[in-house]
């Protein structure tokens, strides 16, 4: 049964269902988690200044992104390990997104490969790319995504090195997993996950691995030896992205922008869109929150780029505030993983509907009949 009414209830249910290591990988930030808390404080500091008596019915959340019309200004963000919160979790999440009428973006670090997701869903998906240390490996993955119907490529550029997340080390949640009395006990006390997720992978033919990784980097979650996890491009620069633009025939989106000058560089190299994001507070501790820099970035690029945003969204009113500050749509990460952990595609779909309903309430209360009527005049800073 899908029994939650909001983000916080879903978070608590997911926390109870998942082993600690997996839950904290999703839930927590990096360093002292200043950025994680700052994201929330900045949402709370932005206050809605509603209009009244505007005849705000009927309302529509429809939005056009890259020539496609979607039911709501929401996207299922690329997230690592959706396949560890539920068996084939990426497919469950993608099916929920298709049912709700919003885009799903598959991740480089997915447990399920982009081809399998695309085949299972039957609708076009987006694909997120981390650049490899060898450029030909990145190009091979891009070509694989294109062959499987992806026409929007999201290049994540805010992770030149791996972030320091001490809780992953303490939980043994590195790749490969490290066995300890603590995490063995953790899994043993979550038998539904052990049987329903890990057990099903074993029954299907083996332990889960990063299905999109090149063979020489791929390993299952327990493997030790020569195989290694993602090796980031140490010399990632704008020329790397420019070469991708030259070779990629579809829409190109740059994820991880927090500065107006970087947004203008993305425009200069031919990107079609950007995602204003601090990686959910998971990468650089002390980084600014997207909502506080979004207006300046949106003003700088105008309508020359499709501006999207994410990080820290928990309520429909958060979505409303990002839209008012210049985002065309908002990516959802943790919230959809919690929903998926609770009940697969049904849980993810419930979370989408909850957030969509909350956004509708914010629009109605503020006198907005369409997304175009949501603007900065509806916000004040506390």
CA distance 193 to 188: 9
Cβ–Cβ under 8 Å, residues 369 and 362: no
Cβ–Cβ under 8 Å, residues 16 and 190: no
Cβ–Cβ under 8 Å, residues 338 and 351: yes
- Positive or negative torsion for Cα 361, 366, 372, 378: negative
Between strands 46-48 and 379-381, the pairing is: antiparallel
Neighbours of 172 (CB within 10 A): 17
What are phi and psi for residue 381, nearest 5 degrees?
A: -100, 130
Residue partners of 15: CB distance under 8 A and separation at least 6: 23, 27
Catalytic residue among 255, 279, 315, 334: 279
CA distance 333 to 75: 9
Cβ–Cβ under 8 Å, residues 219 and 231: no
Cβ–Cβ under 8 Å, residues 375 and 30: no
Cβ–Cβ under 8 Å, residues 197 and 85: yes
Q: Residues for the chain: how many in total?
A: 382
Cβ–Cβ under 8 Å, residues 131 and 238: no
Reported as half-sphere exposure (CB side, CA atoms, 13 A), residue 3 has a value of 2
Residue 47 β-bridge partners: 380
CA distance 341 to 353: 16
First to last CA, the chain: 39
**Residue among 130, 116, 111, 117 at smallest CA distance from 209:** 111
**Residue among 31, 24, 46 at smallest CA distance from 289:** 46
Q: Is 38 labeled as catalytic in the residue annotation?
A: no
The catalytic residues are 279
């Amino acid at each position: 049964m899908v029994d939650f009414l909001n983000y916080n209830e879903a978070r608590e249910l997911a926390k109870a269902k998942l082993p600690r290591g997996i839950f904290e990988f999703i839930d927590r930030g990096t360093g002292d988690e200043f950025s994680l808390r700052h994201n929330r404080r900045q949402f709370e500091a932005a206050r809605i200044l509603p209009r009244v008596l505007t005849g705000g019915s009927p309302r529509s959340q429809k939005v056009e992104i890259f020539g496609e019309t979607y039911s709501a200004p929401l996207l299922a963000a690329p997230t690592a390990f959706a396949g560890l919160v539920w068996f084939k979790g990426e497919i469950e999440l993608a099916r929920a997104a298709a049912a709700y009428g919003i885009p799903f973006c598959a991740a480089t670090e997915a447990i399920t490969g982009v081809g399998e997701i695309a085949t299972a869903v039957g609708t076009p998906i987006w694909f997120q790319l981390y650049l490899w240390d060898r450029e030909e490996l990145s190009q091979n993955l891009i070509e694989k995504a294109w062959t499987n119907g992806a026409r929007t490529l999201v290049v994540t550029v805010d992770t030149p090195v791996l972030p320091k997340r001490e809780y992953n080390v303490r939980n043994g949640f590195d790749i490969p997993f490290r066995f300890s009395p603590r995490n063995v006990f953790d899994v043993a006390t979550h038998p539904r996950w052990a049987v329903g997720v890990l057990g099903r992978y074993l029954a299907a033919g083996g332990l889960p691995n990063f299905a999109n990784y090149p063979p020489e980097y791929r390993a299952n979650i327990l493997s030790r030896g020569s195989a290694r996890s993602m090796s980031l491009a140490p010399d990632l620069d704008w020329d790397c992205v420019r070469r991708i633009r030259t070779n990629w025939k579809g829409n190109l989106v740059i994820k991880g922008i927090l500065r107006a000058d970087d947004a203008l560089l993305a425009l200069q190299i031919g990107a079609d869109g950007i995602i204003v994001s601090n990686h959910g507070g998971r990468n650089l501790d002390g980084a600014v929150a997207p909502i506080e820099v979004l207006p300046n970035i949106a003003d700088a690029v105008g309508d020359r780029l499709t501006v999207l945003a994410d990080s820290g969204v928990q309520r429909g009113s958060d979505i409303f505030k990002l839209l008012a500050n210049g985002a065309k749509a908002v990516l959802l990460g943790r919230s959809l993983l919690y929903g998926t952990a609770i009940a697969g595609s049904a849980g993810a779909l419930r979370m989408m509907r909850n957030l969509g309903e909350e956004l509708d309430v914010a629009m109605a209360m503020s006198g907005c009949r369409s997304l175009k009527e949501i603007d900065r005049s509806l916000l004040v800073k506390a």
